[in-house]
Structure 1
Amino acid sequence: MDPSILLAFAVACVVISVVPGPDMMFILANGIARGRAAGVVAAAGMSTGLAGHTVAAALGLGAVLQAAPVALDAVRFVGAIFLVYLAISALRSAKDVAETAQAKFGGRSLRRTYLMATLVNLSNPKVVLFYLAFFPQFVTEGGWAMPVQFLVMGGILIVLGFCVDATVGLAAGALSALLLRRPAVRRWLNRVSAAIFGALAVRLVADR
């Protein structure tokens, strides 16, 4: 691939990454509710999901899903279920502000945050459609094979996206750390997180 094309693609990726979207809102919600570590872990989970989408696009799975709208609907509803679960968990946490820091930031909690972030990203069919609509604009004939071009561009998107998302997660976590000294603030932060998760679930189901 032409270096100038890769540079143009990288610039486009940065622009796309800084525009607030469902992934960024998910990371914000985790950073607000659980601190900087959870925000960064959520960003890593989103990047892992993008890696799965990249491989799927390179192998042609995106074209299969595009030809089968029923599969897209199934994936979308699975993602909504995950988001509803996260909203309920956040509301339950809001009722119990006596949780210890270990319970909030322990390894199990962070592993769950990472897993849920990955699944939320993988269950968003719009990411597949984004790959199909966006990547071909930068594909060149001759030279690298099509799957290789998709993998390279996906790698660029993942690296740049993670840098932006991790920064957002750290900022949200830092703000949360300043406010968590008051139990009432903690309850409201968890409620805000629950509202974000719930809104994302509704959007995932209703937005076609």
Structure 2
Amino acid sequence: MDSSTVVAFAVACVVISVVPGPDMLFIVANGIARGRVAGVLAALGMSTGIAVHTVAAALGLGALLQAAPVALDVVRIAGAVFLVYLAVSTLRSAGDVAERAPERYGSATLRRTYLMAVLTNLSNPKVILFYVAFFPQFLTEGGWAVPVQFLVLGAILVAIGFAVDGTVGVAAGALSALLLRRPAIRRWLNRVSAAIFAGLAVRLVVDR
């Protein structure tokens, strides 16, 4: 793997990361509903999921899942269930959140935000297909072993993705903080967050 390949991959990762997608919407929804810390933790959870996908791809598990459509369907439905749960819990807590600072959520809630971000990323079959279809374009023969190349490219994607997503999470949390003294607006923002989670769930179910 030469430097030109690494640079080309890094540029592609920047483009992919800045284009709004399901992961970014998930981060924005959490930043708006729970503040800056939650937004950053959601971004960290997504990056953790990408790291797990990278290791799985290096071990050949991505291609194995692609060859078993039923397994991908199970992953897809599990992801939709997680997102519906987040939509319902966010909607139910809309009244409470409007009355308190988003940064004052307990460690248990923030920990749950991180874990849900990890699970949401892991349960998205399109991420698996992305690894199967996109990464091989940047693999080279000779030199490093293919699993090592997967890990290096995955590390680059994780670093760039977290830099972009973390910034988005902080920005969404800052918007939430600015509107803290307007409970009615905050309630609507939480309803918007719940709608985003529900929309992502529907997308996972119907988008094949």
Normalising by structure 1, we get a TM-score of 0.97
Cα distance change of structure 1 residues 190 and 22 upon mapping to structure 2, 3 Å threshold: same
2:87 is aligned to 87
Answer yes or no: is 1:183 the counterpart of 2:183: yes
The code of the aligned residue for 1:133 comes to A
Aligned to 2:50: 50
Task: Work out whether residues 33 and 102 of structure 2, in 8 Å CA contact, stay in contact via their aligned partners in 1.
Answer: no
Tell me the distance in 2 between the aligned counterparts of 1:99 and 1:117: 25
1:112 aligns with 112
Distance in 2 separating the partners of 1:198 and 1:11 = 32
Is the contact made by 1:17 and 1:164 (CA closer than 8 Å) also made in structure 2? yes
Measured after TM superposition, the shift of residue 180 of structure 1 is: 1.6
- CA change 1:48–1:153 in 2 (3 A) is same
Identity of aligned residues (%): 78
Aligned: 1:69 with 2:101: no
What whole-Å deviation, never above 9, does each CA across 1:132-190 have from its counterpart, x for those lacking one?
11100000000000000000000000000000000000111111100121111111011
Q: Structure 1: which 5+ runs fail to align? A: none
Q: Paired residue for 1:141? A: 141
> Which residue number in structure 1 is paired with residue 162 of structure 2?
162
CA distance in 1, matches of 2:71, 2:49: 18
Deviation of 1:96 after TM superposition, in Å, equals 3.0
Distance across 2 between alignment mates of 1:97 and 1:78: 27
TM-score, length basis structure 2: 0.97
Partner SS state of residue 96, structure 1: helix
* Cα distance in 2 between the residues matched to 1:102 and 1:87: 17
105-114 vs 70-79, which moves further: 105-114
Q: Deviations over 1:34-62 (max 9, x none)?
A: 11110000000000000110000000001
Aligned residue runs from structure 1 range 15-30, under 5 A: 15-30=15-30
Matched positions, count: 208
Please identify, of 103-112 and 24-33, the stretch whose mean Cα deviation from structure 2 is larger: 103-112
User: What's the offset of the Cα at 1:105?
Assistant: 2.1
Root mean square deviation of aligned Cα: 1.3
User: Unaligned regions of 5+ residues in structure 2, if any?
Assistant: none
Does the CA contact (< 8 Å) of 2:14 and 2:161 recur in 1? yes
- In 1: Cα distance, 2:35 partner to 2:100 partner: 13
Distance 1:174 1:35 in 2: 7
* Segments ≥4 residues shifted beyond 6 Å: none
Structure 2 counterpart SS, 1:121: helix
